[in-house]
Structure 1
Amino acid sequence: MGALAHRPKLYEQVADRLKDAIDAGTLRAGDRLPSVRQLSLRERVSISTVLQAYMHLESVGLIETRPQSGHYVRRRERPRLAEPLVTRPAPAATPVTVSALVAHVYRAMQDPRIVQLGGAWPSPELLPTRRLFRELNTLTRECQEKGLLYDPPPGCPELRLQLARRSLDWGGALSPDDFIITVGAAEAIHLCLLAVARPGDTIAIESPAYYGTLQAIESLGLRVLEIPCSPRHGMELDALEVAVERRRVAAVLVVPSFSNPVSSCMPEANRRRLVEMLEAKGIPLIEDDIYGDLHFGPERPRTCKSFDTTGNVLLCGSFSKTLAPGFRVGYAAPGRWRERLELLKFAHTVASPSLPPLAIARFLEEGGYDRHLRALRRALASQVERMADAVAEFFPEGTRVARPSGSSLLWVELPRQVDSLALHARALEAGISIAPGPIFSPRPDSYRHCIRLSCGHPWSPRLEGAMSTLGCLARSLS
């Protein structure tokens, strides 16, 4: 009788086998467990037995249930690291000279043998690649002549219509005629800078700032005025207001939604204040909204453009971070500079490729984009959390890490004695690419103890090993 009394029940046996797989690392934190039906077939037990097993594992904290998604291995709690401090860049405008350093770093991001923690693009595994190529193949058959002809500005009317419809989700209501199709967001920003500034002018930006933006400013002979940035709320508007009172600024360029590299998100009240402040001072606002669709919360942040009543905001975006980096499909809604931008676009590249914008327009029209975004946001949120956990586990004491509420980037502030350029060199020798802090500022000595990590690739043993190695290298430098 005693032996029978201690024999595990059937659901406990199923739960124990899953627990053993979790303890052995076969099932890792964040992994999705089989559906109830799949596990009942695999274990040859009833659905009610599987439900009991899952309820038991959830009660002891090993798994969690996500509504309309399934059961997942729960992450074991690690101490949360402090956030990076508010940045304090030098208050003077300065020329930009980052291109040589960026070129050196960027070459390493193109080597397929290297673990890519430096590039800011999503893994092809997370993108609807087959669906988009099917659309392209169909368009190649249907639109043979159109695919060979120029698509002059403003560009693909079908995509501009879809963008106008999506602008309702951004908090505003733009028309198809408000948009100009560009070769990625990079061209959109380049054209906007050309439209509002002349060589020698000063552009106010967040600090740290995306190195691609700094390169565009450098190529146009402009100067940069760095504005302090909070890792949580983005550009410090009080500091901006003081700065524009003291010196002439031709334009302000911001990434309000999940800035690159810090992934800060400007509160809605700040966005309204920013738009109203710059309109009152007659200073154009260039808004880079490339990460706006990658929010982890229930609602997409409103664009600054949605508060614009006078055409003073030049909105830029693209589908490079959500659908197809290689398609290079971007757009601008430049407000009162629209006619100027259309002329600049024609002078700059004459036209955008014809078929990729049309393929994306069809994907949006058929409703696939929103379904894809929901899955992509879930994946990126999980990957960001795993990377942050790995930083907490492997990196030296005193490390700080941002807490993004969107995008696929993680800004890490290492102890002051760790030189990120030295860490970059040693990481490359170990087969790992990172983005060192100095490429995100026009001043080469800025952010020497910071790095940006990409969370765009699904978690894997290879990625975990790379993070462990990177942490070891950082500890050796500290």
Structure 2
Amino acid sequence: MPPSAPRSTQTPLYKQVADKVAKMIADGALRPGERTPSLREIGEQQGVSMSTAVQAFVELESRGLVEPRHKSGFFVKAPPQVLPDLPGPPRVPMSGSLGNRHASLFDAVVAGGVIALGGAVPSPDILPTAKLNRMLAEKARHAGARGVMYDLPPGSEVLRRQISKRMMKGGAVVAPAEIITTCGATEALMLCLRAVTKPGDVVAVETPTYFGILHVLEALELRALEIPTDPRTGLRLDVLEGALKNQQVNACIALPAFSNPLGASMPDEAKQRLVAMLKEREIPLIEDDVFGELPFGPKRARTCKSYDESGLVLFCSSFSKTLAPGYRVGWVVPGRYYHAVRMAKLTHTMATATLPELAIASFLSEGGYDHWLRSVRSIYKENVSRMRRAILEEFPTGTTVTTPQGGFLLWVTMPAMVDALELYDRALAKGVSIAPGQLFSLERSYANCIRISCGDQWSARMAGAIRTLGSLAKRQVK
């Protein structure tokens, strides 16, 4: 006998059961056209008799929520007037903690019908989506048990061999055994920070910098020391050097290659100087290189890791900007902190997804990656150029835009009276998402700045979005 359901003196039992099914329909757990649980399943789940379950579904049918189908059971009935889907989950207000602001931006990025200029995410129309998915399916067919088992740290050996070869192009000689695969570059950054810091430590970061880094610092209870960044040459080493003389710094995070959001590119001599400066003080450097493979020129620049002789540089990257953000495959070269990072990986996500690792390894091993990169670099270069021209034409007089030499991000500085958060809200109401400048500093700086992604093909739709943004910004100037 099924357990007895709690009885209510106010609401008949069959109506209680009907209300629970109705809530599942209202919440979207059961969608129009889907089969509901059977009468027997409802009886067992709710601890009621078959007759009560029948009464509950008669009630649901009378409410217009379900309909019976001969020999098939009950199905959720489509409402007479179908309302448009809401744009993803309820949007978190762009206020409060950095985590809330971060979540709000990504709610907008994934919302249906929104032109997503706010997230640094390449369009699937640009990426080699079909080829990668075929490779993923092939690996699923032939991997056998390996495909469904944990790929424990350090992760896929075949992928680590391919990454080792890629690292050579940035001047770093790294053995496959020195590499640990991760769930994207964000996890790599978090693992590195867990390995080299403890709560309360001070971490030097660029400003403005990628809000994901600031979110990780906030989550790990670390203090950020914001160092100004030149929009062309990156981290201001003179300011950093002065800061290191005056206070304790436990780690440094730098984005030397086409930084997020400025698109700055640190000269090789500056990278060498940065590594030497930190080595002198035994301060670990976490190098974020997610855009490193996307220069507009013929070849990529050297990495900070290529100048590292002491193991103090922890190199982080991923394939999210070049191949497949949704595969969540990244890596870290932790240097002398290898064992600490490996243990952090085991306690954080344990393993990186096996099949995406194998699919990307196949893509790299076939030898077409460099050809693909040349193609996508050309697309991003054209997108950035067109978007930049459009912004300067449509935005208020006095607006400036960065001129990155790689990647696909633009940093837009508008007249001081323009509030980026207000522009964000008004633009989102018009179906356009942007990243307001306040996200890129814990000090809530850059109130008149926005980051624009050029990760989608230039089109009339993109041009229209820029006109909309420009018009909204001009209203704030008047």
Bin the TM-score by the shorter chain: 0.7 to 0.9
Which residue of the partner structure matches residue 238 of structure 1?
238
TM-superposed CA distance for 1:209, in Å, is: 0.8
DSSP 3-state at the match of 1:109: helix
Which residue of the partner structure matches residue 297 of structure 1?
297
Question: Does structure 2 conserve the Cα–Cα contact (< 8 Å) formed by 1:320 and 1:329?
Answer: yes
Distance 2:123 2:429 in 1: 23
Q: 1:39-50 to 2 correspondence within 5 Å?
A: none
Within the alignment, does 1:282 sit opposite 2:282 as a pair? yes
Q: 1:135-154 to 2 correspondence within 5 Å?
A: 135-154=135-154
DSSP 3-state at the match of 2:277: helix
Distance 2:380 2:369 in 1: 16
Question: Does structure 2 conserve the Cα–Cα contact (< 8 Å) formed by 1:97 and 1:442?
Answer: no
- Aligned amino acid, residue 408 of structure 1: F
Within the alignment, does 1:472 sit opposite 2:471 as a pair? yes
Q: 1:393-472 to 2 correspondence within 5 Å?
A: 393-444=393-444, 446-472=445-471
TM-superposed CA distance for 1:105, in Å, is: 2.4
TM-superposed CA distance for 1:443, in Å, is: 1.4
Which residue of the partner structure matches residue 349 of structure 2?
349
The CA deviation string for residues 341-384 of structure 1, in whole angstroms up to 9 with x for no partner, is 11111111111111101110111010121111011000000000
Which residue of the partner structure matches residue 7 of structure 1?
none
Within the alignment, does 1:204 sit opposite 2:204 as a pair? yes
- Aligned amino acid, residue 464 of structure 1: A
Question: Does structure 2 conserve the Cα–Cα contact (< 8 Å) formed by 1:400 and 1:414?
Answer: yes
Distance 2:137 2:428 in 1: 39
| Greater Cα shift, 264-273 or 99-108 | 99-108
TM-superposed CA distance for 1:429, in Å, is: 1.2
Q: 1:55-204 to 2 correspondence within 5 Å?
A: 97-204=97-204
Q: Over aligned residue pairs, what C-alpha RMSD do you find?
A: 0.9
Distance 1:239 1:130 in 2: 46
Distance 2:128 2:181 in 1: 21
The CA deviation string for residues 160-206 of structure 1, in whole angstroms up to 9 with x for no partner, is 00011111101121100110000000100000000000000010000
Which residue of the partner structure matches residue 321 of structure 2?
321
Within the alignment, does 1:255 sit opposite 2:255 as a pair? yes
Which of 1 and 2 has greater Rg?
Answer: 2
Distance 1:127 1:101 in 2: 28
Distance 1:100 1:469 in 2: 26
Question: Does structure 1 conserve the Cα–Cα contact (< 8 Å) formed by 2:105 and 2:119?
Answer: no
Query: 4+ residue stretches of structure 1 with deviation over 4 A?
Result: none
- Aligned amino acid, residue 308 of structure 2: D
TM-superposed CA distance for 1:136, in Å, is: 1.0
Which residue of the partner structure matches residue 86 of structure 2?
none
TM-superposed CA distance for 1:244, in Å, is: 1.0
Distance 1:227 1:103 in 2: 25
- Aligned amino acid, residue 226 of structure 1: E
TM-superposed CA distance for 1:297, in Å, is: 1.1
User: What stretches of structure 1 of length at least 5 have no aligned partner?
Assistant: 1-95
DSSP 3-state at the match of 1:412: strand
DSSP 3-state at the match of 1:228: strand
DSSP 3-state at the match of 2:151: coil
Distance 1:130 1:307 in 2: 38
Which residue of the partner structure matches residue 373 of structure 1?
373
TM-superposed CA distance for 1:97, in Å, is: 4.0
The CA deviation string for residues 107-128 of structure 1, in whole angstroms up to 9 with x for no partner, is 1111120111111011111111
- Aligned amino acid, residue 442 of structure 1: L
The CA deviation string for residues 321-352 of structure 1, in whole angstroms up to 9 with x for no partner, is 00000000000001000011111111111111
The CA deviation string for residues 259-298 of structure 1, in whole angstroms up to 9 with x for no partner, is 1011100000000000001001110000000000010012
**Number of residues paired by the alignment?**
382
DSSP 3-state at the match of 2:110: coil
| Greater Cα shift, 379-388 or 348-357 | 348-357
Which residue of the partner structure matches residue 60 of structure 1?
none
Distance 1:252 1:178 in 2: 21
Higher relative contact order (CA 8 A, sep 6+): 1
- Aligned amino acid, residue 352 of structure 1: T
Distance 2:356 2:305 in 1: 26
The CA deviation string for residues 393-433 of structure 1, in whole angstroms up to 9 with x for no partner, is 10000001100000010000000010000111110111110
Distance 2:204 2:166 in 1: 29
Which residue of the partner structure matches residue 228 of structure 2?
228
- Aligned amino acid, residue 356 of structure 2: P
The two structures have a TM-score, normalised by structure 2, of 0.79
Which residue of the partner structure matches residue 70 of structure 1?
none
Distance 1:185 1:106 in 2: 17
Distance 2:312 2:423 in 1: 42
Question: Does structure 1 conserve the Cα–Cα contact (< 8 Å) formed by 2:184 and 2:320?
Answer: yes
Question: Does structure 1 conserve the Cα–Cα contact (< 8 Å) formed by 2:182 and 2:188?
Answer: yes
Distance 2:457 2:104 in 1: 26
DSSP 3-state at the match of 1:229: strand
Distance 1:193 1:177 in 2: 21
TM-superposed CA distance for 1:158, in Å, is: 0.3
Which residue of the partner structure matches residue 41 of structure 1?
none
DSSP 3-state at the match of 1:125: coil
The CA deviation string for residues 427-448 of structure 1, in whole angstroms up to 9 with x for no partner, is 011111000000001112x000
